[in-house]
A and B are shown apart, each in its own frame.
Chain A
Amino acid sequence: MTNATSPTPIAGPILVARALCKSYDDGRVQALRGVDLSIDAGEYVAITGASGSGKSTLLHLLGGLDTATSGEVLFRNQALGTAVNLDTYRSRDVGFIFQAFYLLPTLRAFENVQVAMLAAKGSANHRAERAEALLVEMGLKDRIRHFPNELSAGERQRVAIARALANNPTILLADEPTGNLDSVNTARILEILARIQAERGMTLIVVTHEIEIANAAPRHVRMRDGLRIEG
């Protein structure tokens, strides 16, 4: 376990979205239309909505993968993209989990976890040890040297979770993390995410269109047509 190195949750909002707008195609498509949202440190939040509601776009902006057309995202009261460098933010403060796993096919499981740490400072020994510890924690001790195509969908997502945790982030962002999984693996992944959030005191934001998954989170934010309508 890695609790010894986990960040201590700070009281108060860790992420704040202010009047967040995002449009594409020269404004013809408005994915977000002025979203305000505040998420506390250590909070577990589910964001739901129909396809095209803007939930994934919101997650991308909260995670610094994209920039808003207008409005801002504050991380610990500092604006992303100006006061906080987005690359540094993504490598140090957030971890991503995607529906399609996005593992690098030529790298083995332990290498896929280490590749996230290549962006940050740290010795090669530390990277290898941490990758192994995280994969063991995910129950993949016997799959460490396997390539992604040799793993089941559930195992791939667990490698992706280990990778997301590699740089010990304070925020974990999951975009439809169980979208490609069967019910058994869905339950297992949700259990892992909930345990990680509880043990590490991490802020966990899960985007999903499945209401059962959203119900597992203490807080539920609903999106419709680029607007936050509830939560």
Chain B
Amino acid sequence: MASQLSFAGFAWKNLWRRRLRTLLTLCGIGMAIGAFVGLVGFSRALEREWMRMYSSSGTDIAVIQQSFLGTTMDESAGDKLRTLPMVAGTAPVIFNMMDLTSDVNALAFGWKADSYDLDSLQMLSGRRFREGQPEAMLGDLLADNLKKKVGDTLDLQGSTFTVVGIYKGGSALEAGAILLPLDEMQQIGSLQGKVSTIHVRLKPTPPGESSDAYLKRAEAAIEAALPGLRAVPAAERASNNQFVVLAHASAWGTSSIALLIGILGIANTMAMSVFERTREIGILRALGWKQWQVMALIQLEAMVLGLAGGIVGIVVGFAGLHLLAHLPQTASIVSANVPAALVAEALGIAILAGLLAGALPAWRGARLSPVEALAHD
């Protein structure tokens, strides 16, 4: 018996007949989805790692400036926080991106030597830094990138720091970070007496109260005690700190432009395909194909382009993330991990992009008069 021709098989043959154009379109949408996977994957990994950093240290609340213009607050706010009955501990922090060498930059944290944040780190060699001393601790990933070991020195913003310890961090951010004594960090940044945020660890939730209610009560108590400051749950802070917000915004902005270009590429391919196949569409209509069946065929072709481009894009995006995760400049903030949810989201967007791009050509193709289409050269 002769082989069977299916609707999908017919669509595939239409794409296959113009292989070069199909390939180029796939590359276009593939690059767009690759940009999405790479950039959004990066920004979400950053958020996830930030959350892991809070979780591993046991931080429940981050206290920050209420005004978006203010990026620092008085360190003395920590003293007031410690007087609140539900507060078990506080950890004032300064953080920022810092160029360590011409090739390597990393997140730099200024912590107190007795900060509970340090308790979650596992020392691999050396010891913790001391306050008032130009000493630094390096995450294992950063130490590898810088090829530094305990006893080596680092020049930071005109000051020489001695590496006194190498630690294994609870998150990729910590593993790629440099930790300095808070007072040294304040001095480097001319921020004496100032901090970026104060991490707060709460006492255990009292019996009979839900953890959510307890957290909300603590937030209210902190904001009442410290007017002008905001108490933000750690999970929320992980997603709305300036690095993550910037990463999300640039990831979505760049991806959207790339996706728009990809959609226009598919739309152009499908529009040309419909134009070139005008007579064939006329034949199909003469054979009794209904308008919706012609539309479905063109949309299926566009969707297959989107889906195949999506698969190409996921591979490209993953490869890009993998590369960034191994480059010294970006290794400290990029994880090569691509979660299944992101893959599903990328495929969904790719298919949607195909359907969107194919909609107008499909509609125009389906509306062709059979007689006029048959007469088309």
Contact = CB atoms under 8 A, between A and B. Distances in A.
A66 B3 contact: no
Interface string B1-27: 111111100100110110000000000
B374 interface: yes
A91 B371 contact: no
A128 B287 contact: no
Contact of A132 (B2, B13, B285): B2
B5 A107 contact: yes
Contacts of B374: 65, 98, 102
A114 B5 contact: yes
Given A60-B371, A66-B370, A91 B289 contact: yes
A87 B289 contact: yes
Nearest to B18: A106
Interface string A70-114: 000000000000000001111110001010001010110011001
Interface in B247-302: 279-280, 283-291, 293
B371 A115 contact: no
Contacts of A114: 4-5
Given A87-B289, A87-B291, A102-B279, A115 B2 contact: no
Contact of A66 (B10, B14, B289, B369): B369
Nearest to A175: B374
A1 to B, nearest CB: 17
Contacts of A144: 2
A153 B13 CA distance: 23
B377 to A, nearest CB: 11
A119 B287 contact: yes
Contact of A106 (B2, B17, B289): B17
Contact of A65 (B1, B16, B286): B286
A118 interface: yes
A65 B6 CA distance: 25
B288 A116 contact: yes
Given A87-B291, A91-B287, A96-B286, A66 B1 contact: no
Contacts of B16: 106
Contact of B10 (A118, A128, A132): A118
A187 interface: no
A228 interface: no
B6 A119 contact: no
A132 B291 CA distance: 27
A120 interface: yes
A91 B2 contact: no
B14 A106 contact: yes
Interface residues of A, number: 36
Given A96-B287, A116-B287, A128 B1 contact: yes
A96 B286 CA distance: 7
A167 B370 contact: no
A128 B2 CA distance: 6
B13 A106 contact: yes
Nearest to B286: A96
Interface in B104-147: none
Contacts of A159: none
Contacts of B287: 90-91, 96, 115-116, 119, 163
A52 to B, nearest CB: 15
A118 B1 contact: no
A167 B287 CA distance: 9
A107 B290 CA distance: 20
A191 interface: no
Contacts of A119: 284, 287-290, 293
A131 interface: yes
Nearest to A57: B371
Nearest to A66: B371
A166 B369 CA distance: 23
A90 B291 contact: no
Contacts of A111: 3, 5, 10, 13
A124 B7 CA distance: 10
A128 B285 CA distance: 21
A92 B13 CA distance: 25
Given A114-B5, A125-B4, A127-B4, A65 B370 contact: yes
A29 to B, nearest CB: 14
Contact of B288 (A87, A125, A127, A129): A87
Contacts of B13: 106-107, 111
B283 A104 contact: yes
A145 interface: yes
Nearest to B290: A87
7 contacts: A63-B286, A87-B285, A107-B5, A116-B288, A119-B289, A132-B2, A163-B287
Interface of B: 1-7, 10, 13-14, 16-17, 279-280, 283-291, 293, 369-371, 374
Given A90-B288, A111-B3, A127-B5, 16 more contacts: A87-B289, A87-B290, A88-B288, A90-B285, A92-B288, A96-B287, A102-B283, A102-B286, A102-B374, A114-B5, A119-B289, A125-B4, A127-B4, A128-B4, A131-B2, A144-B2
Interface of A: 60, 63, 65-66, 87-92, 96, 98, 102, 104, 106-107, 110-111, 114-116, 118-120, 124-125, 127-129, 131-132, 135, 144-145, 163, 167
Across the A-B interface, the 8 shortest Cβ-Cβ residue pairs: A91-B288, A110-B2, A90-B288, A124-B4, A114-B5, A119-B288, A87-B290, A116-B287
